[in-house]
Amino acid sequence: MTNNKYIATPTRTKEILNKYKFTFKKSLGQNFLIDSNVLENIIAHAGIDKQAGAIEIGPGIGALTEQLAIHADKVVAFEIDQRLIPVLQDTLGDYDNVQIVNEDILEADVAETIAANFPKTQPVHVVANLPYYITTPILLKLLHEDLPVTSLTVMIQKEVAERMAAGPNNKSYGSLTIAVQYYTEAAVVMDVPKQVFMPQPNVDSSILRLVKRDKPPVEVDNEKYFFALIKASFAQRRKTLRNNLTSYFKGTIDKDAINQTLESVGIDGTRRGESLDMQEFATLANAFYRLG
């Protein structure tokens, strides 16, 4: 992959950018990968082989897309920036297993795209160097929609990757952690320096691997209610669980009922949200939900 014919080298990237007089849009999180070793690592961790399909978000000029085209059966890539479509048609012209969709991933019907492009029995992996300004909405959309994908391997901001893979009592642990870990097993597989991007971002990056679970690790009566209660429990991190819940349930459940419910499930209301594990949140959410 060190061969200069590939897109992910500084020289080839500059050539392509010059040819199209392409100027980066910071507002679209455009930081392109120019390091073939990092790409090799992404592909190695992503579980991609010729039996698998790949969904990419934000192909840019095609550095990762090209490697996915080489290693996977088929690639479908969503790119919002119309200026990149002719560039991609050029850089990926040699590959007949790539489809570019010029759409905003947050608006796209990803389930329909998967159904239209990949056989039902084929494993499909999401692989992306994500636009960092919308990392959380993209991942939560893909997870909440419960798409038929086997895994997600994504380059994201290091702090966000740590948050998604954290455990209780860690300063990074929060409602995002639980949302991600409810659907997937999360692990940070590699930290990545700024120097591998053009232009260099202001933040450090990590590759995060999320493997979809067959079923959630806890039983929840109502998922929407569960996630809303978790969010409320972290609303003010320094506040006790009881105080956060009192603000959240104001006007619907009174203080006495809140105390009784906490007591009934054996959770001390003076604890902070960050000390509860997912099972405790599930028990708590189910108990409040059953109050009706």
**Which residue ranges are tagged as binding site?**
31, 33, 58, 79, 104, 129
Strand, helix or coil for residue 125: strand
| 8 A C-beta contact, residue 192 and residue 155 | yes
* 31 binding ligand SAM? (CB under 6 A): yes
Residue 279 Cβ vs ligand SAM, minimum distance, rounded to whole Å:
35
| 8 A C-beta contact, residue 126 and residue 209 | no
Only one of the segments 28-36, 142-150, 253-261, 276-284 lies at the binding site for ligand SAM (rule: CB under 6 A); that segment is: 28-36
Q: Which residue is nearest to ligand SAM (CB)?
A: 58
For ligand SAM, the closer of residues 30 and 283 by Cβ is: 30
**Rounded distance between C-alpha atoms, residue 75 and residue 65, angstroms:** 7
In 3D, which of 177, 194, 195, 173 has the Cα closest to residue 185?
Answer: 177
For ligand SAM, the closer of residues 64 and 92 by Cβ is: 64
Q: Which residues pair with 32 in a beta bridge?
A: 198
Binding to ligand SAM, residues 101-140 (CB under 6 A): 104-106, 129, 131, 134
In 3D, which of 172, 174, 113 has the Cα closest to residue 142?
Answer: 113
Interface pick for ligand SAM out of 9, 22, 30, 184 (rule CB under 6 A): 30
**Rounded distance between C-alpha atoms, residue 175 and residue 152, angstroms:** 19
Interface pick for ligand SAM out of 43, 48, 54, 63 (rule CB under 6 A): 63
CB atoms closer than 10 angstroms to residue 9: 18
Only one of the segments 23-31, 85-93, 256-264, 273-281 lies at the binding site for ligand SAM (rule: CB under 6 A); that segment is: 23-31
Interface pick for ligand SAM out of 12, 35, 59, 74 (rule CB under 6 A): 59
Interface pick for ligand SAM out of 16, 48, 54, 64 (rule CB under 6 A): 64
**Rounded distance between C-alpha atoms, residue 225 and residue 151, angstroms:** 26
* 80 binding ligand SAM? (CB under 6 A): yes
* 81 binding ligand SAM? (CB under 6 A): yes
| 8 A C-beta contact, residue 72 and residue 54 | yes
* 32 binding ligand SAM? (CB under 6 A): yes
- Residue whose entry in the numeric block shows the structure tokens 């939900």: 289
For ligand SAM, the closer of residues 106 and 257 by Cβ is: 106
Nearby residues of 231 by Cβ (< 8 Å), 6 or more positions away: 175
> Could you tell me which residues are annotated as the binding site for S-adenosyl-L-methionine?
31, 33, 58, 79, 104, 129
DSSP 239: S
* 16 binding ligand SAM? (CB under 6 A): no
Residue 269 phi/psi, 5° resolution?
-65, -15
* 75 binding ligand SAM? (CB under 6 A): no
Strand 205-212 and strand 184-192: the pairing is antiparallel
Residues binding ligand SAM (CB under 6 A): 28-33, 57-60, 63-64, 78-81, 104-106, 129, 131, 134
